[in-house]
Every structure is written in structure tokens, then in C-alpha cells.
């Protein structure tokens, strides 16, 4: 088991290094000079040169890469070209919106998908199964911003249960923040829940056809007991994979939902940074997201091993 | 005293009749066998008794167990009986256990689900019962997972699970079909012992007459959902009143008419071949240890010879086969066909590949279901530099299909339209179509019913005589190898331990391992009436 973890950690470190190089190179070759962008089209060449020196843009590529990576390791993400504030602080502010939103949405999607998937699998081909499968097809097909607009129309404008957008901040109280995130979380969660339900259902159906499910029935377990005791854990592996992918997507991919609900999240930050050539912010946010995805995958790997004993002994 | 009494059991799934008025009785302490070919309704009889029939099954008749009619019993009461009074063991031990639970948890579950004991008592019982089936707690603690056990050991766990509470009726559905002969013998002995010790009734389902004759008190021969003959085993096998029983019996000991081997110049030569596989690293950064699957093996096959290669699973015969076919490189030694190496400059030698073909065990899995037969059997043409086209190609297809006993019109059909035996004929046609020198049969008849198997063996023998083909016949089944080969090689742990003419080896095996294999293989009794077969069967 220890070996399994160490191996995963090594591959995690390698992925991070490769990702940092790729991000740096890609952002470097993107057209547009941040210094001239910041000073406008009428700036004097020597002013631009001075700013380039100040920003460190005149150093060699390798030096800039190393100081960028070295800074990140001690929590220094540099200073935003546009806002002249520490990038770490900007990201941290946005993270307090994006991370709770992602966790909230993922929790909702899991809470919806598990019972729905199990319900449908246990009633394969019956009316309950058809209803669930039909609903998931709708959920996958309809884009989440449409859900978002419908939620705003119904719950904010008609019923006035929630505000239509904006985020009051956590210092005004936990529940106030949660309330502001509820509609966005639901809008994000519904399509994800639809996908996860389908994965859960088909994964369970595969398992229900396995020989050991028949063995369980031969021992005297009822169909329901066999499903819960032997089916569920075996069906979890593909489901965990999807949950890991969804978390990464929810963290960074919420940009449209953030726009609909006027949330100051990571998605909006990176979108603004790209339009303003704020390269240092782009690099740092993307790197952070890569880090989050790789960490989540690492946790999913650990979860696999917890679920499946065969992985603990295999290399 | 009768424990289970099946009366006029008729069964249909989605309107398709499966069983027609089956009646049989099983008494405590008795072994009753159901035998017959696939689709005869053996397993459905078992599932009906277990109350585990698929959805959409209509039944009539009665299955009386202790005066209760199992067919009419509500599901909660059936759940209560299953595992406590009636248990079942299945064919495929590799998949019959839940891979994510320990064997202890799975054995204990049988006890706990019936609330028969406290968890502490159940744990003690689980240890005892695993010990009883031959898995002592010091070597097989309850914390083991199924993937850490071999097939035979897993089958023992499945049996332990079934008998954890004192069963009165155990149903075993082909319990040893997936196992090697020596393991099979051990499992059969275990079942016999348990029946005797617990005074349990055993319903044994098997297609293998040799297993039945050795084991069962009562024999029921089934065909097309009917019991065609039943009675005490010795009597049924002696009288064989129904022609079907006799057909089954004769097919089981069928000897193909091989003709004498021509055996002139050497065709395939295997010289000092070794094949290594890397194992997982023992330490994180250490070098990977190697497992030597084939150890310095040398032999020759002469043109026109039919050679068998037998051994148990894991002995290296599949590895050796892949090396001969040029699918994988070897670490040392050389394999040549007609003087040319099968593997050259880091890739398979195409000049050699077109001189040999292979036929696998699973005829369905080795065909693309979306292609028509004509396309399937012309697949080897890609090995030729100038493959036949147009009318020439059609002629080749017709000839190949005719040679294996099919009709030229079958070329336009898809593979799902054929039975298992016909599919194996198509696989042979595919091998024949480029007129190879050597055909490798890898467990090619293991999945077939005995009568079909006898026909395919005859076909192989005919083709060998007609075209002077050379065969390498790989199997774990001694009786099959005996009927189709001139010479047998016995392989064990990567080495060939005995290599002699078939008749000699079966008359007097030299190596102790060969003797073990032969003793372990169940044998058909030799009744005077059945001696019109060419040779006494194994």
C-alpha cells in the first residue's frame, strides 16, 4: 500500500513539473507584450523598456521560469501586471468563492446521482428506470446556463427566495454565502448529476450480471441485500473516476455560471487576465488549476485502492 | 429417505420451452448427477430448485423439499432456505467471489445473513469450515482476498461458503469444468467427503461422463429438456438403454482415425528456447526480477506429424505457443519452421507466418461478428504477397468451406448464424485457406460438447490425412490429446518432462508427473458392450 502511494506521489510530481513547463512556454509564445499593453499604444519605447525591466520581462526565459516556479513554491505568485496587487491574494479571494461552489455542486450532484442511479439499476427496464434514464438524457442535453436562467426566473424573480446574483462574502455569515451559492450550485450540479447517474446505473448493471452476485443470492441474500453489500462497492470505481473529473471541471469550468450569477470566481479572473495580457495571473491560475486536478486525481487513486484490494498489491 | 422430489417440472423462458416434465428424486447422503450436452436443461433444473430463475420464466409441476413446494414458496422464505438448507457451487471459481471482500467476510456472511450465530461464533465457524475444505487458517487467514488465491483454492472458498451452515442439499453446477485435472480430482474428493460426513445430498451437474461414472450414485441423462434415461449409475452405464446415452458415451471415448504419420523431414524446430517475463519490482527502485515461463525447451516436429502438448494452467504451454507463432520474441534459443526463423530482426518473419495458422478455443470470440464468413476466412490472405482475387478468391473460399464440411453458400452468412461446432469448422477453414504446413490448435475443442467434439476431431484427422498437414495440438485434456496425436509432450513448470509416442506414453508413462496427470483424470468404466470403440478410453 505504501509503495502504491509513493509511486502515485512520484508520478504526481512529474506531472506538475511537466505542466509548469508547458504552461510557461504556451503563455510565452502567445502574442502580445504585457508592458506595451499596459502602457497603451502611445507609450514611448524607453518607458516600455523601463516597465519591462521592472516586471522582469527582460531576463532570460530560463531565469524567469525558475523564479516563477521558485516563487510559487514559497507561496509568492508574483504581482499582477494590471492591478499591481499580489497574485496570491487575488487568487485566494476568488478561491473562497470557487472552491465552496465546486464542493457544493459536486455534493449536490453526488447526492442526486447515487440514489437515482441505484434506483434505476434495481428496476432495469421498468417505468422507474425509464423515467430516470429519460431525465438524465434531458440533463445531459440542456446546457447549464439555460438551467441557470430558469432558476433565476423562477426562484429569484418569481418566488424571490434567492437573490438573482452577486456574492455578499463570507464575513456576512456562512448561511448568507451558502444562500448566494445555492442557485449557481444547482445549475452546475444538474448536468453533472445526469452524467453521474448514467455512469452509476450502467456500472451497477454490469456488476449485477457478475457471477459473484449470483453466488450472493445462493447464500440467501435477497436481491436488495446483494445489491447493497456486493454490488455497490464494485460499481464505485468508474463512478469515482467521473467524480474526480467533474470536480476539476467545476473548479475552473464554472465561468459561464459565474457570469450569469455575477460571482467573483476563478473563471472570471482568468477570463479577465487573458483579455488584459496579465500573463503572470494567467500562468498562476492555470498552474493552480493543474495542481488541483492532479491532486484530485491522486485522491481518486487513493480512493480506488481503498475500494479495490487488488490495486493495493499490484504495482 | 427422499429429500428433494421434483415432479413433472415444466419450464419456459419468455415462451420458449426449456424443460419438459422432469421428475427426479434425491435422498440424503446420495450423489445424483444430471448429465447431458449444453442446452439440455441441466442448469435450469438447478436454478429452478434454488428459486433463482431468470425473469419471465413460467413453471409448472412441483419441487418438494421437506414437504414444501419450492416453486410456490414466497421469496423471503426462499431466501431463508438458500444458504441454510440448500446451497450452490458454480462453474467459474475465478469470478464467483466478490473481488473486494475478504474470503472471511464472504464465508461469514452466509452465517450472519441467516442470523445463525453471533459474529464471534461466525468467525470461528468460518475458520473451521475453511479448514475443512482444505484451506488451513495458518496459510489461508480470513483476511485473504480472492485475487490472492488460485482457481482451485477459490472453488474451495465457494464450497466453504455453501456449507458454512450444515446444508442438507448442495447443488454443484459443473464445479470442476474450469479446473485442471489434478485440482479437479481434489475438488471431487472434497465433495464426496462432505456428502459422506454431513449426510448431505448432492445434485451434481456435469457434461463429463467420466466424472459422473466415478462419483454419482444415480445418473440422469438429459437431452432437450427431458430426462431420457435414469437409474443407478453403474446400471445406466452398463445397459445404456437409450441410444442417446450410448452416443454420449461413445463420443466421450472417441478415437479419431488418424492414419499413420508420414513423419519425414523436420518441419518445426525449437532449440533451447527460454522465455522470461518481468515481475513487479520487489523494492521501489530495484531491478525487476524475471519469471522464466519457458525453460530451455527443445523439440522437433516432423512434417506430417500430429503432436500434442499437455500440461496444467501456468505450465508455460501458452507462452511457448505464442513464441512458436512468432507473436513474441524469445530471450534465448531459436525457433525455425522449415529452416527459417519465426522471429527475425525484431519482428515476426512473414515468410514463416504464412506457413502456419492457429485455431483458438473460443470460436465466437475469435471472429469479428460484423463480417461475413467469406471475409472472415480470407483474413490470412493478407500474409500472401499475391493473394487470389475475384473468381479465384471465391473458389478458394468454396474449397475451404467444403473441406470442413460446410456449404459454399455459407460464405455470405454472419458468424452468429452458426452453432459452436460450425464456428469451429469455420475457424479451421480460415486456417486451411492459405494451405499452411503447420496448424496450431490451442484448446480448439475444449469448449465443445462431446458429440460435436468427436465430429471436429474426425474432421481434423481427415484433413491431416488428405493434405498431409502437421498439427501441434495444445490441450489440458488428456483424452482429447490421446485421440488425435501421434506423439505427446508433457509440460510442467516451463519444462518438457516427457516426449514420446502417444500409444507408449498412455500405456506406460515414465515421468512421475505424467502418471499423476493420468491418475487424476477421471476415467470412463470399461463395460463389455461398449468395447466396439477402437481403443479403450482413458
User: Which residue among A220, A225, A309 sits closest to B80, beta carbon to beta carbon?
Assistant: A220
**Interchain contact A308–B (C-beta under 8 A):** yes
User: Which residue among A214, A220, A234 sits closest to B100, beta carbon to beta carbon?
Assistant: A234
State the cell numbers at B524.
470412463
**Phi, psi of B380, deg, nearest 5:** -65, -10
**Interchain contact A206–B (C-beta under 8 A):** no
With contact defined as beta carbons under 8 Å apart, do B264 and B296 qualify? no
User: Which residue among B82, B101, B281 sits closest to A218, beta carbon to beta carbon?
Assistant: B82
Closest-CA distance of chain A to residue B20, Å: 25
Residues in chain A: 315
Residue A171 pLDDT level (bands cut at 50, 70, 90): confident
Contacts of A62 (CB under 8 A, 6+ apart): none
Between chains, do A212 and B96 touch, taking CB under 8 Å as contact? yes
Which residues, in sequence order, are bridge partners of residue A174? none
CB pairs under 8 A between A and B: 83
Cα(B476)–Cα(B521) distance, integer angstroms: 10
Reference B489, options B335, B365, B346, B308; nearest CA is B308
Mean pLDDT of B108-134: 90
Mean pLDDT of B297-304: 91
Residue B282 pLDDT level (bands cut at 50, 70, 90): low
DSSP letter at A157 equals: I
Mean pLDDT of B137-149: 89
pLDDT of residue B116: 82
The model's pLDDT over A301-312, given as tens digits with 9 standing for 90+, comes to 888 888 888 877
For chain A, the 3-state helix, strand and coil shares in percent, each to the nearest 5, are: 80, 0, 20
Nearest CA in chain A to B89: A215
Chain centroid to Cα B179, Å, comes to: 8
Q: Identify all chain B residues contacting A228, using CB atoms and an 8 Å cutoff.
A: none
Between chains, do B280 and A309 touch, taking CB under 8 Å as contact? no
- With H, G, I as helix, E, B as strand and everything else as coil, classify residue B259: coil
Q: Express as a percent the part of chain B with pLDDT over 70.
A: 96
pLDDT of residue A30: 67
Cα(B176)–Cα(B173) distance, integer angstroms: 9
Cα(A15)–Cα(A6) distance, integer angstroms: 14
Does residue B285 surpass a pLDDT of 70? no
Strands (E), B211-341: 218-223, 226-232, 266-278, 290-302, 306-310, 332-337, 340-341
Strands B169-173 and B57-65: unpaired
With contact defined as beta carbons under 8 Å apart, do B191 and B159 qualify? yes
**Interchain contact B58–A (C-beta under 8 A):** no
**Interchain contact B84–A (C-beta under 8 A):** yes
With contact defined as beta carbons under 8 Å apart, do A227 and A162 qualify? no
Nearest CA in chain A to B158: A215
The model's pLDDT over B455-484, given as tens digits with 9 standing for 90+, comes to 889 999 998 888 888 999 998 888 888 888
Cα(B311)–Cα(B520) distance, integer angstroms: 13
SS (H, E, C) B175-204: CCCCCCHHHHHHHHHHHHHHHHHHCCEEEE
Q: Is the dihedral of CA B464, B469, B470, B471 positive or negative?
A: negative
**Interchain contact B162–A (C-beta under 8 A):** yes
With contact defined as beta carbons under 8 Å apart, do B411 and B372 qualify? yes
**Interchain contact B82–A (C-beta under 8 A):** yes
Q: Euclidean distance between the first and final Cα of chain B, in Å? A: 36
Residue A115 is inside which H or E element, if any?
helix A87-122
Residue of B86, B96, B114, B281 to mutate for A, most A C-beta atoms under 10 A: B96
Residue of B46, B76, B91, B100 to mutate for A, most A C-beta atoms under 10 A: B100
Between chains, do A221 and B280 touch, taking CB under 8 Å as contact? no
**Interchain contact A222–B (C-beta under 8 A):** yes
Residue B530 pLDDT level (bands cut at 50, 70, 90): very low
Q: Identify all chain A residues contacting B100, using CB atoms and an 8 Å cutoff.
A: 233-234, 307-309
Q: Identify all chain B residues contacting A229, using CB atoms and an 8 Å cutoff.
A: 109
Residue B123 pLDDT level (bands cut at 50, 70, 90): very high
State the cell numbers at B136.
488451513
With contact defined as beta carbons under 8 Å apart, do B101 and A230 qualify? yes
Between chains, do B284 and A214 touch, taking CB under 8 Å as contact? no
The model's pLDDT over A100-115, given as tens digits with 9 standing for 90+, comes to 889 999 999 999 999 9
pLDDT of residue B283: 66
Q: Euclidean distance between the first and final Cα of chain A, in Å? A: 9
Between chains, do B82 and A314 touch, taking CB under 8 Å as contact? no
User: Which residue among B100, B158, B281 sits closest to A309, beta carbon to beta carbon?
Assistant: B100
Residue pointed to by grid coordinates 451437474: B205
Cα(B183)–Cα(B523) distance, integer angstroms: 15
Cα(B284)–Cα(A3) distance, integer angstroms: 7
Cα(B464)–Cα(B442) distance, integer angstroms: 16
With contact defined as beta carbons under 8 Å apart, do B490 and B498 qualify? yes
Nearest CA in chain B to A2: B284
Between chains, do A218 and B52 touch, taking CB under 8 Å as contact? yes
**Interchain contact B513–A (C-beta under 8 A):** no
Chain centroid to Cα B470, Å, comes to: 24
Comparing A52-61, A226-235, B181-190, B227-236, which segment has the lowest mean pLDDT? Answer: A52-61
Give the CA radius of gyration of chain B: 25
**Interchain contact B99–A (C-beta under 8 A):** yes
The model's pLDDT over B313-363, given as tens digits with 9 standing for 90+, comes to 888 888 899 899 888 888 888 999 988 888 888 888 888 888 999 998 876
- With H, G, I as helix, E, B as strand and everything else as coil, classify residue B477: coil
State the cell numbers at A84.
499591481
Reference A264, options A161, A208, A181; nearest CA is A181
Residue of A1, A210, A216, A218 to mutate for B, most B C-beta atoms under 10 A: A218
- With H, G, I as helix, E, B as strand and everything else as coil, classify residue B134: coil
Between chains, do B79 and A7 touch, taking CB under 8 Å as contact? no
Q: Identify all chain B residues contacting A314, using CB atoms and an 8 Å cutoff.
A: 280
pLDDT of residue A198: 94
ipTM score assigned to the predicted complex: 0.80
Residue B531 pLDDT level (bands cut at 50, 70, 90): very low
User: Which residue among B83, B148, B158 sits closest to A220, beta carbon to beta carbon?
Assistant: B83
User: Which residue among A220, A233, A313 sits closest to B79, beta carbon to beta carbon?
Assistant: A220
Between chains, do A234 and B75 touch, taking CB under 8 Å as contact? no
**Interchain contact A127–B (C-beta under 8 A):** no
Cα(B172)–Cα(B200) distance, integer angstroms: 12
Between chains, do B100 and A308 touch, taking CB under 8 Å as contact? yes
Mean pLDDT of B409-420: 87
State the cell numbers at B374.
467469406
Q: Identify all chain B residues contacting A234, using CB atoms and an 8 Å cutoff.
A: 98-100
pLDDT of residue A117: 93
Residue pointed to by grid coordinates 471431487: B188
Cα(B129)–Cα(A156) distance, integer angstroms: 64
pLDDT of residue B528: 47
Residue A250 is inside which H or E element, if any?
helix A232-252
Burial category of B351 from C-beta neighbours within 10 Å (exposed 0-12, middle 13-18, buried 19 and up): middle
State the cell numbers at A313.
498489491
Nearest CA in chain A to B108: A219
For every residue of A197-212, DSSP letters joined together read: HHHHHHHHHHHHTSHH
With contact defined as beta carbons under 8 Å apart, do B256 and B69 qualify? no
User: Considering only residues 248 to 307 of chain B, which have any Cβ-Cβ distance to chain A shorter than 8 Å?
Assistant: 280-281, 284
Between chains, do B113 and A218 touch, taking CB under 8 Å as contact? no
Between chains, do A220 and B84 touch, taking CB under 8 Å as contact? yes
Reference B440, options B538, B528, B522, B326; nearest CA is B326
Between chains, do B96 and A215 touch, taking CB under 8 Å as contact? yes
For chain B, the 3-state helix, strand and coil shares in percent, each to the nearest 5, are: 35, 25, 35
User: Which residue among B87, B280, B281 sits closest to A218, beta carbon to beta carbon?
Assistant: B87
**Interchain contact A146–B (C-beta under 8 A):** no
Nearest CA in chain B to A223: B79
Q: Express as a percent the part of chain A with pLDDT over 90.
A: 17
pLDDT of residue A14: 92
State the cell numbers at A103.
464542493
User: Which residue among A210, A225, A230 sits closest to B95, beta carbon to beta carbon?
Assistant: A210
For every residue of B378-445, DSSP letters joined together read: TGGGGGSSS---HHHHHHHHHHHHHHTT--GGGGGSBGGGS-HHHHHHHHHHHHHTT--SEEEEESTT
With contact defined as beta carbons under 8 Å apart, do B2 and B26 qualify? yes
Nearest CA in chain B to A212: B96
Residue B284 pLDDT level (bands cut at 50, 70, 90): low
Q: Express as a percent the part of chain A with pLDDT over 70.
A: 97
**Interchain contact B81–A (C-beta under 8 A):** yes
**Interchain contact A32–B (C-beta under 8 A):** no
Reference B53, options B35, B75, B33, B37; nearest CA is B75
Cα(B245)–Cα(B238) distance, integer angstroms: 10
State the cell numbers at A252.
475552473
Vertex B439 angle, CA B437 and B443, to 5°: 170
Beta-carbon count within 10 A of B407 CB: 10
User: Which residue among A214, A229, A308 sits closest to B52, beta carbon to beta carbon?
Assistant: A214
**Interchain contact A310–B (C-beta under 8 A):** yes
| Full strand arrangement of the beta sheet holding B266-278 | B290-302, B266-278, B332-337, B340-341
SS (H, E, C) B62-100: EEEECCEECCCCCHHHHHHHECCCEEEECCCCCCCCCCC
With contact defined as beta carbons under 8 Å apart, do B44 and B9 qualify? no
User: Which residue among B95, B99, B114 sits closest to A220, beta carbon to beta carbon?
Assistant: B114
Contacts of A239 (CB under 8 A, 6+ apart): A117, A196, A199, A200, A203
**Mean pLDDT computed over every residue of chain B:** 87
Residue of A123, A203, A219, A222 to mutate for B, most B C-beta atoms under 10 A: A219
Reference B71, options B80, B58, B82; nearest CA is B58
The model's pLDDT over B147-204, given as tens digits with 9 standing for 90+, comes to 888 888 999 999 999 989 988 999 999 888 878 888 888 889 999 999 999 899 999 9
pLDDT of residue B513: 92
Residue pointed to by grid coordinates 434415461: B229
- With H, G, I as helix, E, B as strand and everything else as coil, classify residue B29: coil
**Mean pLDDT computed over every residue of chain A:** 84
Amino acid at each position: 500500500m505504501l509503495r502504491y502511494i509513493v509511486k502515485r506521489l512520484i508520478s504526481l510530481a512529474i506531472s506538475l513539473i511537466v505542466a509548469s513547463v508547458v504552461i510557461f512556454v504556451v503563455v510565452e509564445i502567445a502574442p502580445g507584450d504585457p508592458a506595451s499593453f499596459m502602457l497603451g499604444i502611445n507609450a514611448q519605447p524607453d518607458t516600455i523598456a523601463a516597465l519591462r525591466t521592472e516586471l522582469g520581462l527582460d531576463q532570460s526565459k530560463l531565469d524567469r521560469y525558475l523564479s516563477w516556479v521558485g516563487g510559487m513554491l514559497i507561496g509568492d505568485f508574483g504581482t499582477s501586471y494590471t492591478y499591481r496587487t499580489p497574485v496570491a491574494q487575488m487568487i485566494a479571494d476568488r478561491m473562497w468563492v470557487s472552491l465552496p461552489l465546486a464542493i457544493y455542486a459536486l455534493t449536490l450532484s453526488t447526492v442526486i446521482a447515487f440514489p437515482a442511479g441505484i434506483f434505476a439499476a434495481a428496476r432495469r427496464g421498468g417505468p422507474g428506470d425509464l423515467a430516470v434514464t429519460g431525465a438524465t438524457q434531458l440533463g445531459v442535453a440542456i446546457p447549464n446556463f439555460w438551467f441557470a436562467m430558469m432558476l433565476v426566473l423562477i426562484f429569484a424573480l418569481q418566488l424571490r427566495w434567492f437573490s438573482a446574483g452577486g456574492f455578499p462574502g463570507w464575513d456576512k455569515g456562512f448561511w448568507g454565502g451558502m444562500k448566494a451559492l445555492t442557485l449557481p450550485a444547482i445549475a452546475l450540479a444538474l448536468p453533472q448529476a445526469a452524467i453521474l447517474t448514467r455512469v452509476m446505473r450502467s456500472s451497477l448493471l454490469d456488476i449485477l450480471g457478475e457471477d459473484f452476485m449470483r453466488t450472493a443470492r445462493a447464500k440467501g441474500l435477497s436481491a436488495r441485500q446483494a445489491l447493497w453489500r456486493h454490488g455497490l462497492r464494485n460499481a464505485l470505481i468508474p463512478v469515482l473516476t467521473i467524480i474526480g473529473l467533474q470536480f476539476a471541471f467545476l473548479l475552473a469550468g464554472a465561468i459561464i455560471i459565474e457570469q450569469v450569477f455575477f460571482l467573483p470566481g476563478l473563471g472570471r479572473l482568468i477570463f479577465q487576465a487573458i483579455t488584459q495580457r496579465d500573463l503572470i495571473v494567467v500562468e498562476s491560475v492555470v498552474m493552480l488549476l493543474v495542481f488541483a486536478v492532479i491532486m484530485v486525481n491522486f485522491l481518486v487513486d487513493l480512493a480506488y485502492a481503498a475500494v479495490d484490494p487488488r490495486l493495493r498489491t499490484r504495482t | 429417505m427422499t429429500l428433494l422430489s421434483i415432479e413433472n417440472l415444466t419450464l419456459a423462458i419468455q415462451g420458449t420451452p426449456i424443460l419438459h416434465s422432469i421428475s427426479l428424486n434425491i435422498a440424503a447422503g446420495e450423489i445424483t448427477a444430471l448429465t447431458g450436452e449444453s442446452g439440455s436443461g441441466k442448469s435450469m433444473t438447478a436454478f429452478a430448485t434454488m428459486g433463482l430463475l431468470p425473469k419471465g420464466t413460467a413453471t409448472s409441476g412441483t419441487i418438494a423439499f421437506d414437504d414444501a413446494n419450492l416453486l410456490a414458496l414466497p421469496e423471503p422464505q426462499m431466501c431463508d432456505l438458500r444458504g441454510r438448507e440448500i446451497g450452490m457451487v458454480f462453474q467459474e471459481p475465478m469470478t464467483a467471489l466478490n473481488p473486494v471482500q475478504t474470503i472471511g467476510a464472504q464465508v461469514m456472511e452466509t452465517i450472519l445473513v441467516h442470523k445463525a450465530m453471533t459474529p464471534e461464533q461466525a468467525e470461528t465457524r468460518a475458520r473451521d469450515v475453511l479448514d475443512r475444505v482444505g484451506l488451513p487458517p495458518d496459510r489461508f487467514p480470513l483476511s485473504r482476498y480472492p485475487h490472492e488465491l488460485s482457481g482451485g483454492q477459490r472453488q474451495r472458498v465457494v464450497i466453504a461458503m455453501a456449507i458454512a451452515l450444515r446444508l442438507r442439499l448442495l447443488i454443484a453446477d459443473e464445479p470442476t469444468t474450469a479446473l485442471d485435472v489434478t485440482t479437479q480430482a481434489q475438488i471431487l474428493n472434497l465433495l464426496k467427503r462432505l456428502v459422506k460426513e454431513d449426510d448431505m445430498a448432492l445434485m451434481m451437474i456435469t457434461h463429463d461422463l467420466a466424472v459422473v461414472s466415478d462419483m454419482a450414485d444415480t445418473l440422469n441423462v438429459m437431452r432437450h429438456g427431458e430426462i431420457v434415461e435414469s437409474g443407478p449409475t453403474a446400471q445406466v452405464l452398463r445397459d445404456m438403454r437409450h441410444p442417446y446415452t450410448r452416443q454420449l458415451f461413445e463420443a466421450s471415448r472417441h478415437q479419431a482415425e488418424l492414419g499413420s504419420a508420414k513423419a519425414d523431414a523436420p518441419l518445426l524446430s525449437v532449440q533451447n528456447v527460454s522465455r522470461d517475463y518481468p515481475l513487479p519490482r520487489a523494492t521501489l527502485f530495484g531491478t525487476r526480477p524475471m519469471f522464466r515461463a519457458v525453460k530451455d525447451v527443445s523439440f522437433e516436429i516432423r512434417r506430417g506429424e500430429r503432436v500434442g502438448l499437455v500440461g496444467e494452467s501456468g505450465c508455460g504451454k501458452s507462452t511457448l505457443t505464442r513464441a512458436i507463432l512468432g507473436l513474441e520474441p524469445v530471450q534465448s534459443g531459436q525457433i525455425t519452421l522449415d529452416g527459417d526463423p519465426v522471429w527475425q530482426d525484431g519482428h515476426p518473419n512473414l515468410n514463416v507466418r504464412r506457413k502456419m495458422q492457429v485455431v483458438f478455443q473460443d470460436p465466437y470470440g475469435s471472429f469479428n461478428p460484423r463480417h461475413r464468413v467469406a471475409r472472415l476466412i480470407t483474413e490470412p490472405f493478407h500474409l500472401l504477397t499475391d493473394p487470389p482475387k475475384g473468381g479465384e478468391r471465391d473458389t478458394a473460399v468454396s474449397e475451404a468451406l467444403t473441406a470442413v464440411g460446410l456449404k459454399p453458400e455459407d460464405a455470405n452468412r454472419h458468424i452468429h448464424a452458426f452453432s459452436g461446432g460450425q464456428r469451429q469448422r469455420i475457424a479451421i477453414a480460415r486456417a486451411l485457406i492459405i494451405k499452411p504446413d503447420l496448424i496450431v490448435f490451442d484448446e480448439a475443442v475444449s469448449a465443445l460438447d462431446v458429440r460435436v467434439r468427436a465430429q471436429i476431431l474426425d474432421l481434423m484427422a481427415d484433413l491431416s490425412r488428405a493434405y498431409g498437414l502437421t498439427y501441434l495440438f495444445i490441450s489440458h485434456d488428456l483424452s482429447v490429446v490421446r485421440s488425435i496425436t501421434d506423439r505427446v509432450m508433457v509440460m510442467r513448470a516451463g519444462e518438457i518432462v516427457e516426449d514420446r509416442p502417444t500409444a507408449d506414453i498412455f500405456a506406460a508413462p515414465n515421468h512421475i508427473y505424467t502418471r499423476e496427470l493420468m491418475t487424476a483424470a477421471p476415467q470412463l468404466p470399461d463395460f463389455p458392450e461398449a468395447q466396439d470403440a477402437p481403443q479403450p478410453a482413458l
